[in-house]
Every structure is written in C-alpha cells, then in structure tokens.
C-alpha cells in the first residue's frame, strides 16, 4: 500500500475548500482516507493553511509521499524544513519545540 498526503475537495459548487488528508493512493480524490491532518481555504485573503505538523512529520517520516500542491503548502509553513531536521536525526518532539530566545543582558 502506497500512502499519499493530498488535498480532498470540500465545499459548495464554485466555493472550494480543501482538507489535507493521508490516504491510500489507489482511493479516489474524495474517497476514503486514513487521517485528516489539516485544511486549506484558498478563498480567504491571505489563504488559510492549517496543518498539524507533528502528524504530517510522522507520516512523512514513515514514507508517505506528499502531492505537489501539499509540498507547496508545507514549504509555506516551513514544515519541509522541519522534515529535513527529522531526517538528520532529531526527534519530532525536539523539532516541534519553539526556538529558545537568547537571554537579554
């Protein structure tokens, strides 16, 4: 089974919103999925992108392949940079922690 992270279209006619889902690549675009990890609304200004980074990193680390559109959304949120850190050996928990601010003198 090959797993993909892709967009699933929602919303009314001519008013699309999308969910970012983890799904078997053989299933249809709006068919069954394994897990919902976020959403994307291109109709807001600026477009709304909410992705659960911890779950996205978990699936990417375990071999899920993101679609081209999901890669663009993840680059906008720096999720792909965090994936590179995870692949170098850091744990997902370390990557998800906010950076420490330097002490002020």
Region 50-66: what's the mean pLDDT?
88
pLDDT at 76: 87
Give the span between the Cα atoms of 103 and 13, in whole angstroms: 53
Give the model's confidence band at 37: pLDDT under 50 very low, under 70 low, under 90 confident, else very high. Answer: very high
Domains by residue range for the chain, with CATH:
3-92 (3.30.1320.10)
The first and second tokens of residue 26, run together, are 């053989």
* Tally of helices (H runs) and strands (E runs) in the chain: 4, 5
- Mean of all residue pLDDT scores within the chain: 86
Number of neighbouring beta carbons within 10 Å of residue 87? 11
Distances (CA, A) of 31 to 12, 25, 51, 86: 17, 10, 20, 30
- Whether 91 shows a pLDDT value over 90: the answer reads no
> Among 37-41, 53-57, 89-93, where is mean pLDDT lowest?
89-93
């Amino acid at each position: 089974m090959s797993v993909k992270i892709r967009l699933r279209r929602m919303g009314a006619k001519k008013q699309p919103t999308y969910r970012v889902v983890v799904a078997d690549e053989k299933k249809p675009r709006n068919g069954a999925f394994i897990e919902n990890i976020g959403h994307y609304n291109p109709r807001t200004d600026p477009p709304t992108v909410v992705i659960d980074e911890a779950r996205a990193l978990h699936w990417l680390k375990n071999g899920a392949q993101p679609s081209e559109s999901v890669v663009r959304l993840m680059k906008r949120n720096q999720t792909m940079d965090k994936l590179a850190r995870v692949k170098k050996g850091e744990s997902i928990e370390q990557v998800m922690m906010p950076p420490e601010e330097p002490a002020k003198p």
